[in-house]
Structure 1
Amino acid sequence: MIAVVRGIGACVPPKVVTNEHIAGVLDVDTQWIFQRTGIKSRRVVDGDISTLDLAVKAGARAIESSALHSIDLVLVATTSPERLCPAVAPEVANTLGLRGVAAYDISAACSGFVYGLATAKSYIECGIAETILLIGSEAFTKFVNTTDPDTYPIFGDGAGALVIQKGDTGEPGAIGGFDLGSDGALSDALCTPAGGARQRVRDSAGKCAQPADYYLSMEGGTVYENAVARMADSAAAALEKNKMDITKINWMIGHQANIRILQTVAYTLNFPEEKIASNIIDHGNTLAASIPLLLNDYTQRGLLKPGDNLLVSAFGAGFSWGSTVISWPALSSLPKEWD
């Protein structure tokens, strides 16, 4: 028994924020943003649109793509929950008409969807569940400080989802073995300092949290260096675990944080740059939604062929990272647009 991908779906909010807008807010040059990140625009939530809404639309489309409506478990990977408590996954399941099924959130930042893939594979292959809806959904721009030039240009919102089901060995869509890891010693390099139990309103010394403490802070150099090293090492480890040579990989599906990170990881692995899948130019970093959104885009464009071997790798806050290999199946995909 193995875990295989059966369906895919995605959703992005309608509002587009361009580099020109951000450059005007921050008083920086648009080319500075693009050259630093590889991003020209991103979708952002507006009005009442939230993580739940994006997740529901992406999940519904994945279910429709799979033609499977008996779901045993709903997993939502997110860094922008609706509330600290409860998890959003039960609400997603209920809204989709999946009342009574097991549902919970996964919090591993930008690595969340890869961790979700590992969780889904484990549940299926040990017989706990037969069909799982895995969603990565983010409205993270609500947690980004619009006065911070280190973080404001980077992030966008959206959701992507896969339906994963038990299958037979050798079947297209098979999810391979994983390499997963973390380094909590560097957790402060990419974090939201306030809002949790450590610092709700005041810290342990009685000092009041500042408004900026409720938004993401980032030590860019530390994040960049570790992202390159950890993704490259993890991807190589996943290839070894799956007895797969890099020359047999058709596409590198890396977390869309920064185009230069992806290029450097590919160079380290001696992987052709033209086989780096990327949609960061018009999505930005959508955290846990990044990888399924990318898979959906490339499916829509006909770039992922049945039987293609995909090297999937992510790195995020925590620090956390993970990689795997997927043999891509024949899938149909609906448009990702909000309506």
Structure 2
Amino acid sequence: MPLRAVVAGVGHYLPSRVVPNTEFEEKLDTTDEWIRSRSGIERRHFAAEGETTSDMAAAAATAAMASAGVTAEDVDAIIVATSTADLTFPSAATMVQARLGMTSGFAFDVQAVCAGFVYALSNANALILSGQARRVLVIGAESFSRIMDWTDRSTCVLFGDGAGALLLEGRDLTGTAEDRGILSTDLHSDGRYQDLLYVDGGVSTGTTGHLRMQGNQVFRHAVEKLAATATTAMERAGIAPEDVDWIVPHQANIRIIQGTARKLGLPMEKVVVTVQDHGNTSAASIPLALSVGVERGQIRQGDMIVTEAIGGGLAWGAVVLRW
């Protein structure tokens, strides 16, 4: 029988420090109203001093394993999507592996910025379908507060920290769109646009660097490319927009989320929105939104879900799955 990568568990972690928009009013020429009107963001979480990306990833992974009723010994692989790993190397994923007490299997990071979790899901799906792994922890975790330029009001108010995780499990099913699990994936990148969203640091500069973004240009690419990749993924899965129960998009900006929903012909009532509470948590935003959607009682077993994201690279993609 055909094999599917099914979501067996989900979990998330948010740092305890909540930063409302009003905190920026004390340091920057900005206001709560200005931030809300342009992004939809009201607050975000920042990691505590000494709290790392791998710490948050491990906490989200532990919650996902508990949700699935498995232990680290049951997991074959860990994939962490992040652009803010603790160190240049080793990977954050191997650090999570050690924290969880997982002494077998393998672990690696995926770096596709805000599209990282979609890329990681696609890789996990391929590992399961190829027989390389039966259970895979797929984690998105970020500490973007560590790469902000706190004098740039156009970027530093947009981002937050956190982590989310899914436990994927291979199961023999029917091979139709009625199956639970990942039904299709669609990935893209175009390196010609790297100057639209990047960090100006790395081994070539000997610095960590700060995030730089041409917001208007990113917005222009985002809505068009997100709608297109979601449409392609739905066509590959053999479903139509009316079959979708929930869009769970990358939580970058409420205007991008609304514009993409309109282009897909879907109402905002079918969109899981968490950007107001978390800000843009890059690769963590989709698994965070999935976990919060389950916690709220929005997402239920059997629901048809479309996730889509775009980030630096530019890199973008979509995944269709039945919960």
The 8 Å contact of residues 24 and 31 in structure 2, kept in 1 or not, is answered as: no
2:30 to 21, 28, 31: 28
Give the Cα–Cα distance (whole angstroms) in 1 for the partners of residues 50 and 201 of structure 2. 24
**For residue 336 of structure 1, what is the aligned residue in structure 2?**
none
Q: In percent, how many aligned pairs have the same letter?
A: 38
Give the Cα–Cα distance (whole angstroms) in 1 for the partners of residues 103 and 151 of structure 2. 42
1:142-181 equivalent positions in 2, closer than 5 A: 142-170=146-174, 173-181=180-188
Give the Cα–Cα distance (whole angstroms) in 2 for the partners of residues 270 and 23 of structure 1. 37
Q: Does residue 1:193 correspond to 2:238, yes or no? A: no
The 8 Å contact of residues 184 and 321 in structure 2, kept in 1 or not, is answered as: no
The 8 Å contact of residues 195 and 214 in structure 1, kept in 2 or not, is answered as: yes
Q: Does residue 1:51 correspond to 2:53, yes or no? A: yes
Give the Cα–Cα distance (whole angstroms) in 2 for the partners of residues 267 and 145 of structure 1. 33
Q: Does residue 1:258 correspond to 2:253, yes or no? A: yes
The 8 Å contact of residues 29 and 153 in structure 2, kept in 1 or not, is answered as: no
How many residue pairs get aligned? The number is 316
Give the Cα–Cα distance (whole angstroms) in 2 for the partners of residues 99 and 172 of structure 1. 32
Q: Does residue 1:73 correspond to 2:84, yes or no? A: no
TM-score after normalising by structure 1: 0.91
Structure 2 counterpart of 1:178, one-letter code: T
Structure 2 CA distance for partners of 1:164 and 1:288, relative to 1, 3 Å: same
The 8 Å contact of residues 79 and 138 in structure 2, kept in 1 or not, is answered as: yes
2:65 to 44, 63, 66: 63
The 8 Å contact of residues 61 and 166 in structure 2, kept in 1 or not, is answered as: yes
By how many angstroms is 1:188 displaced?
Answer: 1.2
Q: Does residue 1:303 correspond to 2:298, yes or no? A: yes
1:1-339 equivalent positions in 2, closer than 5 A: 1-69=3-71, 70-170=74-174, 173-197=180-204, 199-200=205-206, 214-328=209-323
The 8 Å contact of residues 11 and 54 in structure 1, kept in 2 or not, is answered as: yes
The 8 Å contact of residues 172 and 306 in structure 1, kept in 2 or not, is answered as: no
Q: Which runs of 5+ in 1 are unaligned?
A: 202-212, 329-339
Give the Cα–Cα distance (whole angstroms) in 2 for the partners of residues 145 and 57 of structure 1. 27
Q: Hey, which bits of structure 1, 4+ residues long, moved more than 6 A?
A: none
Structure 2 CA distance for partners of 1:296 and 1:172, relative to 1, 3 Å: farther
By how many angstroms is 1:293 displaced?
Answer: 0.4
TM-score after normalising by structure 2: 0.95
Alpha-carbon displacement from aligned partner over 1:5-36 (angstroms, at most 9, x marks no partner): 10111100000111000122112121000000
The 8 Å contact of residues 138 and 158 in structure 1, kept in 2 or not, is answered as: yes
Structure 1 counterpart of 2:270, one-letter code: K
Give the Cα–Cα distance (whole angstroms) in 1 for the partners of residues 231 and 96 of structure 2. 35
Alpha-carbon displacement from aligned partner over 1:298-319 (angstroms, at most 9, x marks no partner): 1011111221101111111110
Give the Cα–Cα distance (whole angstroms) in 1 for the partners of residues 42 and 225 of structure 2. 26
The 8 Å contact of residues 40 and 276 in structure 2, kept in 1 or not, is answered as: yes
By how many angstroms is 1:200 displaced?
Answer: 2.7
The 8 Å contact of residues 12 and 158 in structure 1, kept in 2 or not, is answered as: yes
Secondary structure class of the residue paired with 2:107: strand
By how many angstroms is 1:172 displaced?
Answer: 5.5
